[in-house]
Amino acid sequence: MVPPAHQGTMSSALTRLSVKAARLLGTPPHGYAHLLGLASEHLNDDLCRIPATTGNRIAELTTAHTPWPELSVVLAEQSRIGTLGVWDYLITSAATPLEGIQDASTYFAAVADVGTDTLDIAENGEHVTVSHVNQAELTHEAACAVRAYALGLYQRRLSEAAQRSLVPLRVTLAASAPRRHDVLTELYGTHAIDFEAPTSSITFLAADLKAPTPHAQPGLSSVLRRHAEQSLATAVPLHGWLDLFRAALASVHQEKTPTLATVARRMGVSTRTLQRRLDAHETTWRNEVEILRRADITRMLHDTDLTVDAIAARTGYADARALRRAVHRWYGTTPATLRRTGRSAESGRFSRPGPTG
Segment 142-177, tens digit of pLDDT: 999 999 999 999 999 999 999 999 999 999 999 989
Q: How far apart are CA 103 and CA 339, in angstroms?
A: 35
Q: How far apart are CA 296 and CA 312, in angstroms?
A: 10
Angle among Cα 28, 18, 12 to the nearest 5 degrees reads 125
Q: How far apart are CA 162 and CA 166, in angstroms?
A: 8
Is residue 200 within 8 Å of residue 174, measured between CB atoms? yes
Closest by CA position to 57, among listed 23, 18, 11 = 18
What order of strands is seen across the sheet that includes strand 200-205? 117-124, 127-134, 200-205, 170-172, 193-194
What is the structure's pLDDT at 269? Answer: 81
Is residue 69 within 8 Å of residue 148, measured between CB atoms? yes
What is the structure's pLDDT at 236? Answer: 87
**One-letter amino acid for residue 68 of the chain:** W
| Residues of the chain with confidence (pLDDT) below 50 | 343-357
Residue 74 burial (CB < 10 Å; 0-12/13-18/19+)? buried
Is residue 120 within 8 Å of residue 104, measured between CB atoms? no
Q: How far apart, in Å, are the Cα atoms of 332 and each of 118, 337, 352?
A: 43, 10, 14
Q: Label residues 196-218 b or e (16+ Cβ within 10 Å = b).
A: eeeebbbbbebebbebebeebee
Closest by CA position to 139, among listed 42, 79, 38, 71 = 71
Closest by CA position to 129, among listed 169, 186, 162 = 169
Q: Give the count of beta carbons closer than 10 Å to the beta carbon of residue 18.
A: 27
What is the structure's pLDDT at 346? Answer: 39
Structural domain spans, the chain: 4-231, 239-341
Q: What is the pTM of this model?
A: 0.73
Is residue 37 within 8 Å of residue 54, measured between CB atoms? yes
* Helix or strand (DSSP H, E) at 38: none
The highest-level CATH class for domain 4-231 is alpha beta
Q: Give the count of beta carbons closer than 10 Å to the beta carbon of residue 44.
A: 11
Region at 307 (left for phi over 0; alpha for psi -120 to 50; beta for the rest):
beta
Q: Label residues 156-166 b or e (16+ Cβ within 10 Å = b).
A: bbbbbbbeeeb
CATH code of the domain made up of 239-341 = 1.10.10.60
Read off the pLDDT of residues 296-347 as tens digits, 9 standing for 90 and up: 899 899 888 899 999 998 888 889 999 999 999 999 999 999 998 874 443 4
What is the structure's pLDDT at 356? Answer: 43
Q: How far apart are CA 221 and CA 217, in angstroms?
A: 8
